[in-house]
């Protein structure tokens, strides 16, 4: 394949990871910018677009101006913010960063499970009060975790929970009756999610946001949970009906929640989640390791090499399904 033209869409030209683009083949025609104007000279000849910026506003503006583009890559795993009708309808493949961030999200979910099982908040509260108060804790090896959304992130959670001796159940869009694998004792179809949830001590939401998954965990699902159940969300905020979850938490119908994602981000000032003592709140940074953006850039460079050589791309998104 001859010289390729690449457009890199960013919101910060000082991002140190952009320096890694110097590893692209020397013959690559490259434009990096924060606005449509930055790509005026190359956009009509662009072969590929790399959406390094979070969100899809700039991509939405640039894509229609690039008639020759043959590939779009976005650094994030979730694609709900970058899918728009023109991209969905086009034959241009979209790839994402699936797999780059899954290990740290799996660890966050496991940490949240231990946080509630060992009641670390009570330990810290007593320590700060200078109070010596013994209490009972739980062994997670005797407990069950259910994962709603059994993709790459869900399996990262499952592998870590299983290694700790937990019983793992899962909900997957396409699941054969009674299906199981090396981590999950049983995999349920979405219509049986309430049945699975009723058996779980921890319920992890790891599903992408699509029309089908919006509000997937709502009043019915919270009503099915054990009083001691904990909800963990490492997928997308709107996958859980936030109002229904808030009622379950404030009324103490479930034990608690560990949340990395929310309906609105940043979480608005004064939101009840900030003050609830049965909520562990992470400001959407559970996957922010010290090198998370570097990993995302290096994965793109590997993808670009595949594209340049005409090899199959990894992480091709089903644009109609949204993941």
Return per-residue pLDDT of the chain as tens, 323 residues.
569 999 999 999 999 999 999 999 999 999 999 999 999 999 999 999 999 998 999 999 999 999 999 999 999 999 999 999 999 999 999 999 999 999 999 999 999 999 999 999 999 999 999 999 999 999 999 999 999 999 999 999 999 999 999 999 999 998 776 678 999 999 999 999 999 999 999 999 999 999 999 999 999 999 999 999 999 999 999 999 999 999 999 999 999 999 999 999 999 999 999 999 999 999 999 999 999 999 999 999 999 999 999 999 999 999 999 99
pLDDT at 177: 61
94 and 73 together in one domain = yes
Rounded to 10 degrees, the C-alpha dihedral 179/143/243/265 comes to -90
Does 49 fall in a domain? yes
Question: Are residues 44 and 86 located together in one domain of the fold?
Answer: yes
Looking at the structure, do residues 42 and 9 belong to the same domain, yes or no?
yes
Query: What burial letters (b/e) apply to 35-45, b meaning 16+ CB within 10 Å?
Result: eeebbeebbee
Q: Residue 54: give its domain's CATH number.
A: 3.40.50.720
Whether residues 112 and 260 fall in one domain = yes
Residues 191 and 44 in one domain: no
Query: Is 314 a domain residue?
Result: no
**132 lies in the same domain as 273:** yes
Q: What is the number of structural domains in the chain? A: 2
The reported pLDDT for the residue numbered 178 is: 64
Examine the domain organization and report whether 111 and 96 are in the same domain.
no
Same-domain check for residues 109 and 160: yes
Full-model pTM: 0.94
pLDDT of residue 175: 74
Known catalytic residues? 236, 265, 284
168 occurs within a structural domain: yes
For residue 316, tell me if it sits in a domain.
no
**In this structure, is residue 233 part of a structural domain?**
yes
194: number of Cβ within 10 Å: 16
Residue 108 and residue 235 in one domain: yes
The pLDDT assigned to 2 comes to 67
In this structure, the answer to whether residues 162 and 246 fall within a common structural domain is: yes
Query: CA-CA distance, 46 to 51, in Å (whole number)?
Result: 13
pLDDT of amino acid 203? 99
Q: Report angle CA 257, 263, 264 to the nearest 5 degrees.
A: 120
> Is residue 269 domain-shared with residue 297, that is, in the same domain?
no
Q: In what order do the strands lie in the sheet with 29-33?
A: 29-33, 5-9, 48-51, 71-74, 94-95
Residue 318 lies in a domain: no
Asked if residue 322 is part of any domain, the answer here is no
Residues 122, 250 within the same domain: yes
Structural domain for 83, as ranges: 5-100+290-309
Q: What is the pLDDT of residue 128?
A: 98
21 part of a folded domain: yes
């Amino acid at each position: 394949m001859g010289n390729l033209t690449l457009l890199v869409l960013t919101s910060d030209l000082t991002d140190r990871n952009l320096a890694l683009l110097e590893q692209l083949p020397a013959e690559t025609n490259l434009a990096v910018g924060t606005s449509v104007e930055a790509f005026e000279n190359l956009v009509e000849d662009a072969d590929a677009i790399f959406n390094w910026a979070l969100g899809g506003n700039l991509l939405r503006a640039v894509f229609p101006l690039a008639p020759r583009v043959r590939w779009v890559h976005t650094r994030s795993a979730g694609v709900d913010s970058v899918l728009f009708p023109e991209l969905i309808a086009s034959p241009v493949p979209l790839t994402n960063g699936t797999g780059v961030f899954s290990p740290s999200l799996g660890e966050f979910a496991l940490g949240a499970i231990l946080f509630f099982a060992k009641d670390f908040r009570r330990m810290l509260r007593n320590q700060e009060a200078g109070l010596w108060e013994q209490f009972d804790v739980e062994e997670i090896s005797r407990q069950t975790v259910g994962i709603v959304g059994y993709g790459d992130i869900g399996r990262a959670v499952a592998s870590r929970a299983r290694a700790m001796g937990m019983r793992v159940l899962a909900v997957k869009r396409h699941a054969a009756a009674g299906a199981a694998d090396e981590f999950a004792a049983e995999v349920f179809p979405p219509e049986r999610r309430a049945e699975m949830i009723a058996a779980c001590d921890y319920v992890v939401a790891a599903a992408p946001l699509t029309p089908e998954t919006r509000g997937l965990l709502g009043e019915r699902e919270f009503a099915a949970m054990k009083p001691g159940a904990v909800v963990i969300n490492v997928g997308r905020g709107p996958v859980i009906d936030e109002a229904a979850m808030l009622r379950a938490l404030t009324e103490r119908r479930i034990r608690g929640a560990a949340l990395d994602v929310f309906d609105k981000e940043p979480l608005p000032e004064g939101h009840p989640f900030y003050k609830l003592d049965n909520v562990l709140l992470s400001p959407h940074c559970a996957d922010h390791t010290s090198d998370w953006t570097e990993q995302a850039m290096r994965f793109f460079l590997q993808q670009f090499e595949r594209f340049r050589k005409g090899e199959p791309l990894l992480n091709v998104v089903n644009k109609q399904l949204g993941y």
